[in-house]
Structure formats: structure tokens, C-alpha cells
């Protein structure tokens, strides 16, 4: 089994896909909704589960990040910015 966190593999796949399809200027060329959709597709494909939202919060803003936790405990955030690795929080706190 690999010692590399799943979040790193997801981030690498996202980055390589975007740069391969659209070049290094993909951030200015691709619609934010399309960026978010690909990032979420990759998170789901690696077995990510959406981290629970705080019950006290209002309806989620579509421009906010969605946090995902992978089976190995690593985490990513997805949104209009794409996909980024997040530092896993202690086990008692869901990322």
C-alpha cells in the first residue's frame, strides 16, 4: 500500500488534467462551474465523502469550498478554485 495520501494523488490528477486540457493558464480560460465539477468528480472517484457541514450554519454558499475526506483520512477542498489538499484535522474533528 502506498504511503502517499489519497489527497495528493487527487491533487496531482486534477492539476495534470487541467494543464493537459487547457494549458497553464486554465484558471483564466475555464468557467468556475466547470472547474468545480471536475474537482468534485475527482474527489468522488477517489472515494471521497463530503465532510459534514456544521448544523448551526446557514445554507451553504455555492462559492464556498466543499471539504472531502478520503478513506485514508486525508482531505481535499473543492470549489471554483479547483482542488486543493487540506491538512487533516485530529480524528475527533471531521475535516
pLDDT at 90: 56
pLDDT band at 64 (very low <50, low <70, confident <90, very high): confident
pLDDT at 87: 81
What pLDDT, in 10s, does the model give residues 32-60?
Answer: 999 999 999 999 999 999 987 654 455 55
Residues contacting residue 38 through CB under 8 Å, at least 6 positions apart: 14, 17, 18, 82
Report the chain's mean pLDDT, rounded to a whole number: 85
Neighbours of 75 (CB within 10 A): 24
pTM (two decimals)? 0.80
pLDDT at 55: 47
Amino acid at each position: 500500500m502506498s504511503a502517499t495520501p489519497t489527497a495528493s494523488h487527487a491533487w496531482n490528477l486534477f492539476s495534470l488534467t487541467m494543464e493537459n486540457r487547457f494549458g497553464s493558464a486554465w484558471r483564466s480560460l475555464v468557467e468556475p462551474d466547470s472547474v468545480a465539477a471536475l474537482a468534485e468528480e475527482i474527489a468522488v472517484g477517489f472515494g471521497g465523502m463530503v465532510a459534514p457541514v456544521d448544523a448551526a450554519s446557514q445554507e451553504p454558499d455555492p462559492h464556498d469550498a466543499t471539504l472531502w475526506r478520503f478513506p485514508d483520512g486525508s482531505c481535499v477542498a473543492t470549489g471554483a478554485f479547483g482542488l486543493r489538499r487540506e491538512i487533516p484535522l485530529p480524528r475527533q474533528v471531521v475535516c
